[in-house]
Amino acid sequence: MWKPDRQSKQPLYEQIADHLERRISYGEFPPGSLLPSERKLAEQLGVNRSTVVQSFAELRSMGIIESRTGSGTRVSKYKWGITPKHTPNWSRYAEGGSFLPNQPFMRRIRKALTEHPSLIDFASGELSKDLSPIDEITTLLNEPQSISYLGYDNPQGYTPLRQALVSYLRDYRGIQTTESSILITSGSQQSLYLITQCLLSPGDAVAIEDPSYCYSLPMFQSAGLRLFRLPVDQDGARPEDIRTLYKKHRIKMVFINPNFQNPTGTVLKAEQRIQLLNIASELGLPIVEDDPFSLTAYKETPPSPLKSIDSTGSILHIGSFSKIAASGLRIGWMVAPHTIVERLADARQQMDFGLSVIPQQVAAQFLKSPYVEPHLDRLRMNLLFRRDLLIEALEKELPGLVCYTIPQGGLHMWCKLVPKVHDGKLLEEAIKNGVVFVPGSVYGSDSGFVRFTFARPQVEEISSGVSKFAKALQNLTNNRRE
C-alpha cells in the first residue's frame, strides 16, 4: 500500500493530495463517491490527522472534492470545471443484486482485521501459519515441477488429485468411493454454494443445525431457501426433529456438521447417527455431511463420517484441506452420486471455469507424500495445547463468567457468557481493546454466546487475548452498573 515518502522534499500533505487526486482520476473513487474519512486515512497512511485535513483542503480548493458536515467528503461531480457528466450511480448498483452481502458482524470483523492487523484474532476460523504444513508444501513446490497442461481442467477437477483422494478417503475416513464420484471444489464453502444454487429452488425448505455455521452464510437466503432449525445439544442434533420438520414443512435437504460441529464442537452421538440415516432413508431425504474437522480429534480416533455407514446413498459428503492443512490452498471436495457430480461440475464451469491446476497438483503431491501423517499428529498436539491454554486463560481471567463444554477436536471453543451483554457492543468494545471474536448470534444463537478460535492466534497471544476480552466485558458490565 502507498505511504508518503518522509525523505522527500515535497510536503507530506501535498504528496497525499497528489496521491488522492490520482486515485480519483483513475476511477477508484468516481465523481459523487464517498472518500474514506480523514481519521481513517490518517491511520492508513501513518500521518497526523491534521496533515490529511490539509490535503483535503488543497483538493477542495481545486474543486476536486466537496465536504458537507455530517455526510463526509465526496468526489466533486463538477470536476475541474468541466460540463457535468453522469457517472453511473455505483453505490446503488453495489446495494442491488440478488446475492446478499455478508452478515454485518462478519463484515465488521473483516474490516477491523484489515485496518488493525495487530488485533488478536479469535475470529478467523482457520489455522495459524505455524500450524499449516507450509514448510512441507514449500519443499514439494521446490522439487522439480513439471506441468504438462495448462488448459481448462476436467470439470470434475484434476484427475491425479481425485485419484489421490480416493485413497485418502479410504485410509483416513473409511469412505469407499471412485474418482468419478468426486468433485474438486475450492473448499466447503463452494460445495455448499453449488448445492444451494443447483439442487434446490427458491422456496424450498431445508433443515440446518442451530446454532450452526450455515447461519453465518447469507448464501442460503440468497438462494431463497426457507431455513428450519435442528437444535444442537451436547450429543448433536436430534434426528427425530427431522421427521417433525419433514411432516410440517416438507424439508428437501438436511445440512449436518456431525464431527466437532462449528461452532459448538459437539460430536453427533453414535446412536443418533444410525437413527439419522434410518430416517433419511425412510423419507428419501438427502443429508449434506460437512466434515472439515474430524482429523483434528485431539486424542481419540477421529469420528467416522456418516458417509462411511451410508448404505442407501443418502449422504452428500463434503470435505476440505482448509481446517486440517491450509485454507490458502483452496482445495475441497464433494463425494456424491454421479448425476449430482455431473450437474454441479457443469454449473461450476459457468461460474468460474474450475480451479487452477497448480494448487491441485500441489495437493495431490502432498497427499502422496510422507508428510500427511506427521503433519496431522503435530497439528492435533498443537491444537490440544492451544485449547488448554485458552481454558487456562478463561479460568484465570473470567472466573465464573463463562460456561463451556471442553471440545475434543476442532479449532473452536463455544462459550456462554454469564453476564448479560449486547453482542454488538461487546464486539466493538473488544476491538477497542485489541481482540476480535465471533458473536454467537452470527450462528443463529441468542445473544451472550461467543466463539473463540484458538487455532488462529499465536500461542503467546492466547492469554493476552483473553485478558483483553475480559477487560472489554468488564468495561461493558461496569458501565451498565454505573
Q: By C-beta, is 286 or 440 nearer to a second copy?
A: 286
Distances (CA, A) of 231 to 25, 359, 469: 53, 38, 28
| Sign of the C-alpha dihedral computed for residues 292, 370, 133 and 466 taken in this order | positive
Strands 205-210, 332-335: pairing kind: unpaired
What's the closest the beta carbon of residue 463 comes to a second copy, in angstroms? 22
- Count of positions on this chain that bind a second copy (CB under 8 A): 120
Q: By C-beta, is 71 or 146 nearer to a second copy?
A: 146
The per-residue b/e assignment along 94-131, b for 16 or more CB within 10 angstroms, e otherwise, is eeeeeeeeebebbebbeebbeeeeebbbbbbbbbbeeb
Q: Which of 69, 71, 301, 339 binds a second copy (CB under 8 A)?
A: 339
3-state helix, strand, coil in the chain (%, to 5): 50, 15, 40
Place of cell 447469507: 218
- State the cell numbers at 371: 508428510
Cβ neighbours of 33 (radius 10 Å): 16
- Chain residues 162-191 in contact with a second copy, contact rule CB under 8 A: 176-181, 185-187, 189-190
Q: Which residues contact 171 (CB under 8 A, 6 or more apart)?
A: none
* 8 Å CB contact between 370 and 140: no
Q: Give the contact letters, 295-334, x = binds to a second copy (CB under 8 A), - = no.
A: ------------x--xxxxxx------x---xxxxxx---
Q: Which of 56, 122, 193, 371 binds a second copy (CB under 8 A)?
A: 193
Question: Rounded CA gap, 20 and 156, in Å?
Answer: 45
Q: By C-beta, is 247 or 338 nearer to a second copy?
A: 338
Q: Is residue 37 at the binding interface for a second copy, with CB under 8 A as the rule?
A: no
Among 46-54, 266-274, 340-348, 409-417, the segment contacting a second copy (CB under 8 A): 340-348
* 8 Å CB contact between 198 and 172: no
Among 214-222, 369-377, 401-409, 474-482, the segment contacting a second copy (CB under 8 A): 214-222
Q: Give the contact letters, 462-481, x = binds to a second copy (CB under 8 A), - = no.
A: --------------------
Q: Is residue 33 at the binding interface for a second copy, with CB under 8 A as the rule?
A: yes
Nearest alpha carbon to residue 336 among 190, 202, 177, 168: 177
Q: Which of 272, 275, 281, 304 binds a second copy (CB under 8 A)?
A: 281
Question: Rounded CA gap, 59 and 54, in Å?
Answer: 9
- Chain residues 404-433 in contact with a second copy, contact rule CB under 8 A: none
Phi, psi of 73 (to 5 degrees): -110, 130
Q: Is residue 362 at the binding interface for a second copy, with CB under 8 A as the rule?
A: yes
Q: Is residue 382 at the binding interface for a second copy, with CB under 8 A as the rule?
A: no
* 8 Å CB contact between 430 and 437: yes
Q: Is residue 282 at the binding interface for a second copy, with CB under 8 A as the rule?
A: yes
- Chain residues 89-118 in contact with a second copy, contact rule CB under 8 A: 89-91, 93-94, 96-99, 101-102, 107, 110, 114
- Chain residues 129-168 in contact with a second copy, contact rule CB under 8 A: 129, 132, 134, 137-138, 141-142, 144-155
Amino acid residing at 223? A
Among 121-129, 294-302, 378-386, 471-479, the segment contacting a second copy (CB under 8 A): 121-129
Q: Which of 29, 122, 246, 333 binds a second copy (CB under 8 A)?
A: 29
Instruction: Give 144's Cβ-side CA count (13 Å radius).
Output: 2
Cis preceding linkage at 263, omega within 30: yes
Q: Is residue 402 at the binding interface for a second copy, with CB under 8 A as the rule?
A: no
What's the closest the beta carbon of residue 450 comes to a second copy, in angstroms? 21
